[in-house]
Amino acid sequence: MNREIVEKKVEVLEKRVRWQMRAIIGLIIVFLFNTSPAFTSKWFHQLLPPKLTSVNLSPDKSNGDTGFRHNWSHRKEILARRIQAPELGPGRDKIEFINNILSHQNGTPRLGKQAQAGELQILSDTLRVQTLQTRTLQIVNAAGGVVAIIGSDPAGNGILLVGNVAGAAVAAISADQAGNGDISVIENNASVAGMGVDQAGNGVVAASNASGSSFTLLGADDSGNAGLIVGTASESGTGVVILGVDDVGNGSVSAVSASGSIVDLGIDEAGDAAVLLTNREGVLASVLGVDENGHGIMGILNASGRPIAAMAADEAGNGVLGIEGGKFRAYIDSTGNGVAETRGQNQILRWSSEIRPTGGGGTPSGLIGDLDQDGDEDFN
C-alpha cells in the first residue's frame, strides 16, 4: 500500500469514526480493533416495574443479574484500541531507492533486462558484484537479466529485491524504519500483501486490492489478543468488520459502517451473548442481552443516548414493558391478568383484565384508578 492510500484511509477513519489516531514511526496503517464486548445496565431499573425482582436492575445490587455489567463509555475505550503496524513493504523513499537500483546507473542493467543481440549468453545464473556507488549484489539469469538484487537502503538496512523475467519488482525483504523485518509482495510500486511487526512486537499480515481501497489485516491488539480486520474505503468513509477475542478469551465481532454506526456482538462477563447498536454519531441506541435467569432483555435509547424503553421478563417468565422511566408499564400480575399503567405526577391510571365478582357472575374490569384521590377506586 502506498503512503497516499494509507493516509487517505486514516483521514477518513478519523473524520467518520472520530477515534484518536496514535502515530507510529515511519509509514503506518492504523485501523480499529475490537477486544472485548461491554454492556450497560444502570438505567434499566428506572424503566421496568418494581415487581421484576428476578431482573433486579438497581445499580446498588451487588449481584447485577442482568448480564449487562459495563457502561458504554468503557466499551468505546475498548473499541479505540487498534492494531498499529508499519506499512508493509517499501515506503515512498524505499520505492524511489528501488527504482534507482532498477534504472541504468554506470552501466548497471535494469532488473530483468534481456541480453541484446551479439551479447554473451550466460548459460547459468551469475552473481555480479557492483561498484561501491551502487552498493549491490545482483543475480543474473541465464538470459542476462537481473532477477534479484541484494543491497542496503538509505538507512543502512539490508534489502533483498526480487524481480520477474520482465524486469518488474515483485517482492522485497527489508527492514522498516523501526528496524523490524518486513516482507512485501509488490505490484506497480505498491505493496499489496506483506508481513511485518507492529509497535508492540506483534506479527502482522496485511493484504489489499490493487487500488488499496479494500484491505485485510491480521494481527494482535494492545493486550496481545489476535484479531482480523476486513475493510473497504470509499468517498463516504471506511466500512470495517472486526473479528477478535476479548481479554478473557471470548470471541467478538464488530461491524463499523462507512457512516460510523456500529453493530457489536460479543459475550458479557457472565458468559451471556449480547448485541450493541449505535447510531452514526457512535451513541448507543439499542442493547440486546440475557439476564441471569436466561430471559432476554432489550433496551432502547433515543438519539441523545437517553433510555426511553426496556423489555424483559419477570421471575415467572412473563413479559414486561417499561417506557420513559415507568411512566407507562405493561406486565402480567400474580393472577395471570394483563395490566397496563400510566403514571402522572399525582396519579396512576391502571387498565386490567382482572375479573371482579358482581352478584353471582363476573365482569371484566376496565379502567382502574383513584382519579379524585379519595382513597378508593373510581373505576373497576
Grid coordinates given for 39: 454492556
C-beta of residue 153 within 8 angstroms of C-beta of residue 159 = yes
Q: Which residue in 172, 139, 138, 140 sits closest to 157, CA to CA?
A: 172
Q: Which residues lie across from 219 on neighbouring strands?
A: 227
Report how far residue 194's alpha carbon sits from residue 207's, in angstroms, rounded to the nearest whole number: 7
SS3 347: coil
Question: What pLDDT, on a 0 to 100 scale, did the predictor assign at position 332?
Answer: 86
CA 112 to the chain's CA centroid: 43
Report how far residue 358's alpha carbon sits from residue 176's, in angstroms, rounded to the nearest whole number: 88
- Note the pLDDT tens digit of each residue in 59-114: 222 222 222 333 344 444 444 443 333 344 555 455 555 555 555 433 333 444 44
Report how far residue 380's alpha carbon sits from residue 375's, in angstroms, rounded to the nearest whole number: 14
- Domains of the chain by residue range: 1-85+201-319, 90-175, 333-380
Measured CA to CA in angstroms, residue 196 lies from 60, 180, 193, 201, 229 at distances of 48, 7, 10, 9, 16
pLDDT band at 374 (very low <50, low <70, confident <90, very high): low
Grid coordinates given for 145: 537479466
- The CB-side HSE value for 112 (13 A sphere, CA atoms) comes to 12
Position 288, amino acid: L
Most confident of 23-32, 51-60, 125-134: 125-134
Question: What pLDDT, on a 0 to 100 scale, did the predictor assign at position 284?
Answer: 86
Range from 26-30, 123-127, 247-251, 281-285 carrying the lowest mean pLDDT: 26-30
Residue 362 has pLDDT above 60, yes or no: no
- Note the pLDDT tens digit of each residue in 295-324: 888 989 899 888 888 888 888 888 888 888
Report how far residue 360's alpha carbon sits from residue 368's, in angstroms, rounded to the nearest whole number: 21
Grid coordinates given for 25: 514511526
- Note the pLDDT tens digit of each residue in 321-352: 888 877 888 888 888 888 888 887 777 787 77
